[in-house]
Amino acid sequence: MTQATLETTINMEAMGQRARQASYMLATLTTAQKNTALLAIADALEANTDHILAQNQLDIDAAVANGVDPIWIRDRMDLKKRMAGIIEDVRKVAQLPDPVGRVYSEAELPSGIHAHKQRVPFGVLGVIYESRPNVTIDISTLALKTGNAVILRGGSDVLNSNLELVRVLQEALAANGIPSDAVQYIASTNRDYVRQMLRLDKHIDMIIPRGGSGLHTFCRENSTIPVITGGIGVCHLYVDETANLDASLPVIHNAKTQRPAVCNALDTVLVHKSVAAEFLPRVVDYLGKDGVVFKAEPQALALLNDDRVEAAGEREFDTEWTALILGLKVVGSLDEAIEHIREHSTQHSDGILTEDDAHATRFLNEVDSAAVFVNASTRFNDGGALGLGAEVAVSTQKMHARGPMALEELTTYKWIVKGDYTSRP
C-alpha cells in the first residue's frame, strides 16, 4: 500500500479537453511570463525537496521489497543525489531561447497578399516514459517553455515520486497564473489509459514515447495521433582501409564505453579486410581491458584468439546491446559496409573512420541515418552535444524531426496571410 492517491476511474477524454483548453492560454504567454514560471518551479522544487524525497522513498522501499536490482534503483529511481541537478536544469531551460513566434519564409505574392510562417506551440503533447522521475520535470519544463500542455504517463514503479513532482509543478503554475492543467499526469498503472490516450487525436497533437522498442511498437500500432519514434540505436562505426588506426581506437572506446546503456552507444565495428588482421586484436585489447566482450562474425572470429570474443549469433547484429558488448565484422569494401549498415542499422547514429575524402562523402550521402559521422564518436548524436541546449527524445523516423528533438522540435508553424480584402485571382 503506497500513499499515492489513485483515481479509481480516469476520464481521459475530459483530461484531453482540459489540456486543450490550457494549451490555448499557454500559446499566448510571453517568453518573460514562461521564464518567470520556470524559475518559480525551480524554487518550488527546492522548497519541497523533503516532500519529494519522502514520496520517492516509498517507491524505493517498494522496489527493494520486490527485489529490484540495487543498481537500477540507484541509477533510475533514486532522486536523493539528483534533486540539485534537476533544479539547476529547470533554471537552464529558462535561459534557453524561445522558438515560439519566430517569423520566416516571408513573401509578397503577385496576388498582393503577404505570407509568412510563424513558429507556434504544438498544442498538447502526450509523453509516455519509463521510470526516471527526473523526466517528469524535464519534459514538463521544456513543454512550458514552448507553450505546450502535456499529459504525462511515467513508470509505475515511481508513481509516488511523479505524483509529488507534478503536485509541486501544478502549484507553482497556478501561483503564476498558469492553469495547472498545463501539466497533467495519468495517476494509474493501468495500461488501458495509455491505450485511450493514444486515440485522443482531437485533443493531443503529438505522442512522444521514451522507452524500449516494445513501448515504441505499442504506440505505433495503437495510436491515431502522430508518434515520434526513436531512441533505439543499433549504431555502427566503419573502419576504412585508410583510417588512422591509432586515432580510431579511442573513438571506438568512447562510443562503446562512455555510457553503454544509452541509444547512441556503439554496437558494431565494421573493419575493412585489408586492416582487419592488424586492427581487430588491437580493438579487443584496447576495449577489453575495460570489460568489453565481443561478438564476432566468422571472418573476424578467425583473426581473433581471445577469451573475450565469441561467435556472433544469428540476429546479434540487429541487437542494441546497451551493455559492454561489441559486434565485430570484417567487410570487403565500403559498399559492403554501407550494405551491412542499411540492413542492420536503426538509422540512429552511424559513422566512418577514414582519411579518404571520397569515401567519407560516399558514406555521408549513402548511409541514411539521423546522424552520420566522419571521424567522430556516435555519442555526439545528442541534443546537448550538438549544441541544442536540451533534448526531449532522439527521433529515428524521418517525419518532423530527425535525431535530437529540442525546443524547436516541440513547436510547429502556422501560415499567416495578410491581404487588403484580397480575393484569389
Q: Which residues in 214-273 contact its own copies (CB under 8 A)?
A: 220-221, 224, 226-228, 244, 247-248, 250-251, 253-255, 258
User: With respect to its own copies, which residue has the nearer C-beta, 176 or 244?
Assistant: 244
Q: Does the footprint of its own copies cover residue 417 (CB under 8 A)? A: yes
Rounded Cα distance, 371 and 378, in Å: 8
Pairwise CA distance, residues 193 & 181, whole Å: 18
The whole-angstrom separation of Cα 81 and Cα 83 is: 6
**Using rule CB under 8 A, residue 342 touches its own copies:** yes
Cell 520486490 belongs to residue: 66
Asked if 332 interacts with its own copies (CB under 8 A), we say no
Q: Exactly one of 287, 369, 391, 396 binds its own copies (CB under 8 A); which one? A: 369
Counting contacts by CB under 8 A, is residue 370 touching its own copies? Answer: yes
354-365 burial, b at 16+ Cβ within 10 Å, e below that, comes to beeeebbebbee
CB atoms near residue 199 (< 10 Å): 15
Residue 324: name the closest of 277, 374, 371, 262 by CA.
Answer: 262
Distance CA 57, CA 136 (A): 17
Contacts made by residues 103-112, CB under 8 angstroms, sequence distance 24+: 111/422, 111/424, 111/425, 112/419, 112/420, 112/422
In the complex, the smallest distance separating the C-beta of residue 376 from its own copies, rounded to whole angstroms, is 3
- Least Å distance, CB 298 to its own copies, is 26
Cα–Cα distance measured from residue 312 to residue 292, given in angstroms and rounded to the nearest whole number: 14
CB of 334 to its own copies, least distance (A): 14
- Choose between 35 and 248: whose C-beta lies nearer to its own copies: 248
Grid coordinates in use for 252? 571506438
In this structure, the number of other CB atoms found within 10 A of the CB of residue 54 comes to: 14
Using the rule CB under 8 A, give the single segment among 10-18, 23-31, 57-65, 165-173 that binds its own copies.
23-31
* Residues 165-224 within binding reach of its own copies (CB under 8 A): 201, 205-206, 220-221, 224
Decide: is 24 part of the binding site for its own copies (CB under 8 A).
yes
| Of 94, 353, 393, 406, the one binding its own copies by CB under 8 A | 353
Region from 69-77, 113-121, 131-139, 153-161 binding its own copies, contact rule CB under 8 A: 113-121
Span 52-81, contacts to its own copies by CB under 8 A: none
Q: Min. distance of Cβ 107 from its own copies in angstroms?
A: 5
Out of 149, 372, 405, 406, the only residue in the binding site for its own copies (CB under 8 A) is 372
- Applying CB under 8 A, does 115 fall inside the site for its own copies? yes
27 binds its own copies (CB under 8 A): yes
- Letter for the amino acid at 123? G
Residue 397 is classified by DSSP as S
Site for its own copies in 270-309 (CB under 8 A): none
Q: Which of 403, 405, 406, 407 touches its own copies by CB under 8 A?
A: 403
* CB-nearer residue toward its own copies: 123 or 288: 123
Our finding on whether 333 is near its own copies (CB under 8 A) is: no
Piece of the chain touching its own copies by CB under 8 A; list 40-48, 82-90, 324-332, 360-368: 360-368
Neighbour-count burial of 272, counting CB atoms closer than 10 A to its CB (0-12 exposed, 13-18 middle, 19+ buried): buried
Contact residue for its own copies among 140, 160, 170, 377 (CB under 8 A): 377
Residues 6+ apart with CB under 8 A from 14: none
How far is it, in rounded angstroms, from Cα 158 to Cα 369?
34
Q: Does 424 bind its own copies (CB under 8 A)?
A: yes
Q: Residue 108 Cβ, how far from its own copies at the closest point, in Å?
A: 9
If one asks whether residue 334 binds its own copies (CB under 8 A), the answer comes out as no
Q: Of 53, 73, 113, 293, which one interacts with its own copies (CB under 8 A)? A: 113
Q: Do the beta carbons of residue 148 and residue 122 sit within 8 Å? A: yes
Q: At closest approach, how far in Å is the CB of 155 from its own copies? A: 24
User: How crowded is the C-beta side of 181, counted as CA atoms within 13 Å?
Assistant: 17
Q: Which of residues 116-155 bind its own copies (CB under 8 A)?
A: 120, 122-123
The answer for residues whose C-beta is within 8 angstroms of residue 32's C-beta and 6 or more apart is none
Between 6 and 364, whose beta carbon lies closer to its own copies? Answer: 364
CB of 393 to its own copies, least distance (A): 13
Q: Which helix (H) or strand (E) holds 358?
A: helix 357-366
